[in-house]
Structure 1
């Protein structure tokens, strides 16, 4: 029996190759089992499907130098005005490099996330890096409700276009995430030898508890529970004492008064080291942070006086008129 199969195998091989040229096989093609197994009686004939099955293709990420990728990412970010410019084409380069950096491995040490992080890039509106706005999105179902929330965010940004956004940062500590969003807006102009606007300044501080940190294939998911919102560092004279004495919006009380479930947004860090952090929200919006320090102390704003900047404005005007501005 074994000799017969050897003969058939030799005839098939001879039929398929003649003088180095491939010729058609006789139909139907014959698939022969290993002769040793059949000769020794070690089981049944293997099926055609088992022999013809293609091997699984494993998609292995390309290994790249992380330091070079970080430099490339920050260079791409520097061309985008934190992602807020009207021409969004440079943002495509940021997203491409960010995904390559994410492919090098998600963070596994939650301690790396602790510290002060400055927002260098955002593929959506900067204010959506705040847990307050994340909670608003988490209160909406995917689909039509999410689209309505996006529209609301569009209108909010249009309504605040006159404001100038300063530093935007996250301060991450064990069990706590705080967003500081500094902004200023020109108030009624004050004419002293020309148009010199009085500027209102304040930092919108949103705090959330981290209720869970979960390691997933995508990265470290932090589940947040919104706590409160307050304004710090306001330079408005009569309002500043009230704000410093604890005037704030308690989001949990407001939420409990509404007929909706308390939202728990998830903010995922997909890459993190001692210098750069890449994060994404539930809608896959991209956030790139650079680390300022490992310090988790909140900004005090004690150096901001509640005087609308008028004394400094007057000193500057007098300095210009007397020639002693730089003295």
Structure 2
């Protein structure tokens, strides 16, 4: 039997134990409440970020449509004389402050680059020869021209290279049709990252049958134009014809007279001009310090300018192509 003193000691010990359990329970409640509040705050921030991103995406879409309309209006203005990098449409839109950020825009002449779809079956054979010379001007394997042509072949399974695509680590079939975007080059056999980075700024994707503008073509493309099987062209000649991006040939014959050829070789006269009807509108938009890049391919047909392709994302090939366009005077 416990004495009075023992009972008092036992009561004190039990009281301390109960207080300890209560303290642990209180700590657990506080911890659970903290976790719940943190989860609610995190969920709220995530919902806020989603709402902000959705709002910004809608803003970018609206600004992209506005920039495209601005580019179309610029191209619809009367154009006297040949198209050059100094033409009125080629002047970039100055930086504009808009709600939430800023934007600017540029127009690139797509007739100044080599149209990959001109290598499709049924097009002039001179395009293949010109593409081979362009590869040589860029110090790339001439065999890539055949690989690109096979990619465009409507019957890719009949091509000797079909097994090369199907036998790869990731098997796939050659497209067997027209290119839809320059980045599709990365799927062509032999086009690695280095080849793509070197070639992509000088090529583009348009409907077959487009012509080259001697005023806006890059130095490498002009070097390919000025050469032939018997009269090879040098990089220095290409730079001379390019005139630092400020060439202003009044017509195609005047361009040919400036080359060692003296006149257009057979079959090439119809492929070169000094007027353009295909353009790439690029918009650079910054909202909340987040950059967005949008593109529109514009074609001028029958007195109208229509958008035939829209894309977003800063394709490095398209960004690199900007370096080929001179700064405005």
Q: What is the TM-score with the length of structure 1 in the denominator?
A: 0.25
Structure with bigger RCO (C-alpha 8 Å, 6+ apart): 2
More strand by share: 1
Larger proportion of helix: 2
